Homo-oligomer: A and B are copies of this chain.
Amino acid sequence: MKKNILVGQSGGPTAVINASLYGVIAEGMDRLDEVEHVYGMVNGIEGFLKGNYLDLSEDLTQKELERIKLTPAAYLGSCRYRLPKDLSSPVYPEIFQKLEELDIGCFLYIGGNDSMDTVDKLSRYARQAGSPVRFIGIPKTVDNDLMLTDHTPGYGSAAKYVASTVREIVLDASVYHQPAVTIIELMGRNAGWLTAASVLARKYEGDNPLFVYLPESQFDFQKFAKDLDGALRRQPSVVVCASEGISDAQGRLICEYNDQAKTDNFGHKMLTGCGKVLEGFVQRHFDIKVRSVEINVSQRCSGMVLSATDVEEAALAGSFGTRAALEGATGKMVAFVRAEGPCYGVTCSLVDVGQVCNQEKRFPLDWVTGEGNNISARFQEYALPLIQGEPARPMKQGLPVYAYRKRACGV
């Protein structure tokens, strides 16, 4: 008997979360003998609860589907919605009632830690309630902080964007011969993976960015001043990269030195501004030109700087997860296992989603060098394969062509 697939996207956008969506839809539509419809939740589980979904297997042309693969952000819309911890909450039977109405057999959810929490709770409820619906998580995050997977779809493109943008800014910062410090603030609340990617921008040993500061190691203003002082004796342009979430020995966030931090719906602190704090510090301690640059949301949503490896792996995670669900798996997240040996390659596997959700894989401390201001070559070996290749980008009138959902969000 044929069953339907329901797919959703959740959490912050990435450049390849739609490539995973493409993988799910393409795989589902390829399984005509098992799958009748592929439905998409609009704005994740939150929108689905309001009855907001699309029939992707009916509404999309092949051309639109191909376009989705290379469109950044979240084609289906997203949400930040946490299901109640208590599985006896009435929201669970409400969701399963809706799943039954649409004759859903497989539920695929593309997202990060918080989204894996949704997959975990729904799969546990299903087991408890005797529901046959299968729940699979497809990993997504530019932060690369999901457990039990070699890396996460979204990270490769974001890392490539960071490395190429930092390389440009290093050039921009080096045109004058006067001494100057440039501080680049990068994403990363607790995990320094994305900031670490800035070292890929270097063309030779000793090239800028000279110093890289991650949330995993304690930031010390006096050490920072010493780092800069030494560097400025050797060269006029010094470029520094720092994660938004760096903190000092007392655990105080550097951005809080002059900012009132806000919190989002999940109680996460919304950080901005460590770059400005460091800029002010350099201004007071050195009588030289200083500039801070915050590489804001473009890190996670650039459609012009994509890693072809990342795009293909994201699509693979989507199709693998769909196959796994159709074959009976539930309560799992798709994970990448890196092939051993000199040639890069990944295979997909399944890990328990309960062991992934609400945890963070932090940057390995033994890859942090230079007393906390640099990154070891082992990271570069890890990260370089992830940023390889550029997909052919469809352009029209000089600008990238993206896919747009026809019905407006929240309708």
Q: Tell me if B77 and A165 are in contact (CB < 8 A).
A: no
Residues of B within 8 A of A79 (CB): 176-177
Q: Which of A13, A176, A388 has the most CB of B within 10 A?
A: A176
Tell me which residues across on chain B come within 8 A of A389, comparing CB atoms: 398
When distances are taken between beta carbons in the complex, the residues of chain B under 8 Å from A300 are 172
Q: Give the total of A residues in contact with B, Cβ under 8 Å.
A: 62
Q: Is the interface of A mostly helix, strand, loop or mixed?
A: loop
Q: Establish whether residues A43 and B176, one from each chain, have CB atoms under 8 Å apart when the complex forms.
A: yes
Nearest CB in chain B to that of A235: its residue: B408
Across-interface contacts of A176 in B (CB, < 8 A)? 43, 77-80, 409
Shortest CB distance A279–B (Å): 10
Q: A3 CB to closest chain B CB, in angstroms?
A: 28
> Per a CB cutoff under 8 Å, which of B165, B174, B307, B410 touches A298?
B165
CB A227 to nearest CB in B, in angstroms, measures: 20
Bound state CA distance, A356 and B162, in angstroms? 38
Residues of B within 8 A of A72 (CB): 168, 171-172
List B contacts of A294 (CB < 8 A): 294, 296
C-alpha gap A43/B236 in the complex (Å): 13
- Least Cβ distance of A263 to chain B in Å? 12
Interface pick from A58-66, A117-125, A332-340, A399-407: A399-407
Contact check, B399 vs A395: say whether CB atoms are below 8 A apart. Answer: no
**Which residue from B165, B177, B307, B410 sits with its C-beta under 8 Å from A177?**
B410
Query: Can you report 26 residue pairs joining A to B where beta carbons are below 8 Å apart?
Result: A9-B175, A43-B177, A47-B177, A72-B172, A73-B174, A73-B175, A74-B175, A79-B176, A160-B398, A164-B303, A164-B399, A167-B303, A167-B399, A167-B400, A168-B302, A168-B304, A171-B303, A172-B297, A172-B301, A176-B409, A177-B409, A177-B410, A200-B398, A203-B404, A293-B298, A304-B304
